[in-house]
Amino acid sequence: MDSGNGLLAAAAAVHRMRPDADLVLSSDPGSMPWGPRTPEDVIARALAVAGAAAAHRPDALIVACNTASVHALAAIRAELEPGIPVIGTVPAVKPAALGGGPVAIWATPATTGSPYQRGLIRDFADGVRVTEVACPGLADAVEHADSEAIDAAVAAAAALTPDDVRTVVLGCTHYELVAERIRAAVQPRLRPSDGPLALHGSADAVAAQALRRIGSAPAPGAEPSGTLTVLLGGREEALLPSALAYPEGRSLPAVGAARP
C-alpha cells in the first residue's frame, strides 16, 4: 500500500524475488500528495488504503510509503496485526551511514525533520554528518510521470544538497522510481576523487523482510504465475498509465494493463 505509485518499487522487488506471488496494490492517488498533510490526515487515509488491501486477505501487508510509516504504522498494526503481518518502510539511514558520510536524506516535507527520522539519524548515524533535504513537489511529479516537474524538483533538492555529499538516502518510495535522474543531478557536484554517488532505497530490504515474516524464501527462478490486483481508492482498477512510465510498473504481471 502507498498513497500512489510509490508502491511500485517494493511491488517490483517482491515480483523479482517471487514471480509466483499474487500481488494486491492498494493506493489512493486522488489524495496525493500525502507529504504536506497533517499526521492525523495521513493516518486516516493510510488506514483506509490498508483496509482496502486487507479485505483481500493478504499473507502480509507492506506499507510501501515512508510518510505513512512515519505517521500511521502503529495505527495500521493495531488494526490488522496479528492476523496480517505489517511491514513498514524505514529510510535506509543505517546502511547509508556505514559508509561514513557525509549523507543527505531526501524526503517529503512531512518526513523531513520528523521525530521519527531524527531518531533514525541519532540511532544509526551518530558521528556522521547528515543533511535532511525536503523535496516539495517531487513525489507528486513522480506520481504523474511529469518529466519537466520531476527535473525541476530534483534540481531544487540537488541545490540544497551539500557538494561533498557522497551518499543520498531516498527517503520516499516515489523517489526510487527516478533514482537515476537523482544520480545525474547530484553526481556532477562531487569531486572525481569521491567516486560514484551511492543511492540507498528501501524496496529490496522491505520485500525481503516481508518474505521472511511469512516464512517464504525468495525464488527468483519461479514460474512468473502471480496475478495482479490493483485497488485505486478501494475500487478494483487497472494500473494507471503513469505507473507504466517506469520500468518497475512495466515489470509487473500483464494483468494490470493500463486503462485506455
- Positions annotated as catalytic residues are 65, 172
Residue that is written with C-alpha cell 518497475 in the block? 248
| Helices first, then strands: H and E counts in the chain | 10, 9
CA distance 28 to 79: 19
| Side chain identity at residue 70, one-letter code | V
What are the E-state strand segments in 86-234?
86-87, 103-107, 130-134, 167-170, 198-200, 228-232
Q: How is residue 174 annotated by DSSP?
A: G
Q: What are phi and psi of 163, to 5 degrees?
A: -65, -25
Task: Give the three-state DSSP class for 219.
Answer: coil
* CB-CB contact of 129 with 93 (8 Å): no
Cα→Cα distances 226→17, 19, 172, 179, 252, Å: 12, 6, 26, 27, 9
Q: How is residue 3 annotated by DSSP?
A: S
* CB-CB contact of 11 with 23 (8 Å): yes
Q: What are phi and psi of 172, to 5 degrees?
A: -140, 135
Residue that is written with C-alpha cell 519537466 in the block? 148
- Determine which helix (DSSP H) or strand (DSSP E) holds 9, and give its type and residue range: helix 8-17
